[in-house]
Amino acid sequence: MTGFGVLARWLHLAGSLGLVGLVTALLLAGRADHPTARAWESRMIRWARALAVLVLITGVAALSFQAAVVTGRAGAALDIGEWIRLLGRSQFGTVWLVRHGVLLLLAALLLLREREQSGADRLALRLEAGLLAAVAAGAMAWAGHAAAVEPGGLTAALLDALHLLAAGAWFGALAPIVVLLREASAERGQDARPFAVVAMRAFSRLALVMMTLVVLTGLANSWFQVGGLPALVGTRYGGLLLLKVALLIPILILARHNRSRLLPRLSGDGETIGRPAMVRLGRFVAAEAGLGLLILLITTGLSLSPPAVHDPVWWPFSLRYSWEAAASLPGGASRVLIGGQIAVIGVLAVIVGLLLRSWRVLLVGGGVTALALGLWVALPPLTVDAYPTTYRRPSVPYQAVSVASGEALYRAHCATCHGAGGRGDGPGGAGLPKPPADLTAAHAAQHTVGDMFWWLTHGIPAAGMPPFGS
């Protein structure tokens, strides 16, 4: 059932964003005055109709899957009564009804449209379709994780909606641009090359803005849904988010190469420079589109995973960094500050070196060296042992009842070695390999509740402390 839900949501998301991008591409391209360009435009209108139908069908499939998830019964996926209850008693249902009402209007507009008699008719159709597609795509934010953020739910949902619209205007336009570039770079499409160059330049300017918005709103969404580094690397949601970022990096590299190297060459000699550049540009934009589809698949996985801020963290490393640990060491704080300043100087040198070509090798080499030196100086005092449960939060609140229960457990199992006052002076510690820890000493504050949970569960064999997990 999960595979069905992932497929339905992925196709629905890709189709919704594809509609936004397809209309964006038509608006950016402008009026088509040549046969190849007009054929491309007609083809895109057919694509828009097909996407509208696809989004409606996959929307029903997503509703079916959600009914099964909410009820915990696979049979609810085909139970119309459960669908109706879900639509009438949940925010998901309300948003679904609004979105699919808008999508029905969009489908009717595209399927029943009459031939445009003027430029104004043509522009009106595209603007109306774009508005409906944008509303349907942006409204998805109110049926996702962003809508459940407290406090600040409205802000989170608005940022998520902006993220979706920016992604749609960029990602959704890639496939239409690929088709236009391929048709214009063919022998028979020579008449559309000026049209394709103008469209590609307009798209490049818009894509730069949209990708910047995608990155900025993505960072803001991560703040709401992740909350910190431990949850980023220690939860399923965080792992998927890191994978999403890893796929975005090559897209940004391709986009920069296309904009700086290939786009200027489109205006060169048609057969020797312009056409080969257009062919290559079409391939690279197609690669961007393929990576974008993978990112949307990961985004679908994120929508089906609990946000990292609500999921227990399983820390994968054997160490962590703690300012409290450095501050407790003689000279530790000074070492961190000095090393940090050296590292910052190194980063600035690398940035300046990337901007100044004549000094690039010297500045980048020196900057990397300074960065490595700064980290070598600053990180050791910050290092503390860590365990898989280091960042786990206790499920029991700090109330009088839980404190009293903990005191009783301590006296029964721990006081023999650690002493009644926790100072490590209990009679049972005399024969242990290492003296019991003084739980009242300053070092105890450097450890998290999750550290102590790990020790209590698994013991400390080197110190002779038994496990209490059972």
Q: Where are the domains of the chain?
A: 2-310, 319-385, 400-463
Q: What's the mean pLDDT in 382-389?
A: 88
* Closest-CA residue to 78 (of 65, 94, 92, 93): 65
Residue 150 has pLDDT above 90, yes or no: no
* CA 90 to chain CA centroid, nearest Å: 26
- The residues with which 385 forms a beta bridge, in sequence order, are 319
Confidence bin at 19 (pLDDT 50/70/90)? very high
Distances in Å between the Cα of 463 and the Cα atoms of 389, 405, 418, 429, 459 are 20, 26, 12, 10, 9
Q: How far apart are CA 367 and CA 348, in angstroms?
A: 7
| pLDDT, tens only, 314-359 | 999 988 888 877 777 788 888 999 999 999 999 999 999 888 878 8
The least confident of 187-196, 385-394, 436-445 is 436-445
Helix (H) or strand (E) holding 44: helix 35-71
Q: What is the pLDDT of residue 29?
A: 86
Q: What is the pLDDT of residue 423?
A: 82
Residue 301 has pLDDT above 90, yes or no: yes
Residue 437 has pLDDT above 70, yes or no: yes
Residues whose CB is less than 8 angstroms from the CB of residue 143 and which lie 6 or more positions away in sequence, other chains included: 91, 92, 95, 96, 99
Contact 134, 83 (CB under 8 A): no
| Predicted TM-score (pTM) of this structure | 0.85
From the number of C-beta atoms within 10 Å of its C-beta (0-12, 13-18, 19+), residue 71 rates as middle
3-state secondary structure of 191: helix
* Closest-CA residue to 307 (of 440, 147, 178): 147
Q: What is the pLDDT of residue 358?
A: 81
Q: What is the pLDDT of residue 325?
A: 76
Q: What is the pLDDT of residue 393?
A: 83
Q: How far apart are CA 416 and CA 424, in angstroms?
A: 9
Q: What's the mean pLDDT in 29-49?
A: 87
Q: What is the pLDDT of residue 135?
A: 96
Q: What's the mean pLDDT in 85-108?
A: 93
Tokens of 293: 């589809």
Q: What is the pLDDT of residue 161?
A: 96
Confidence bin at 115 (pLDDT 50/70/90)? low
Q: What is the pLDDT of residue 131?
A: 95
Q: How far apart are CA 137 and CA 12, in angstroms?
A: 10
Tokens of 461: 């064999």
Q: What is the pLDDT of residue 116?
A: 64
Q: What's the mean pLDDT in 405-410?
A: 85
Cis peptide before 151 (omega within 30 of 0): yes
Q: What is the pLDDT of residue 114?
A: 65
* DSSP code, position 433: S
Q: How far apart are CA 398 and CA 63, in angstroms?
A: 41
- The residues with which 320 forms a beta bridge, in sequence order, are 384
Tokens of 28: 């950016």
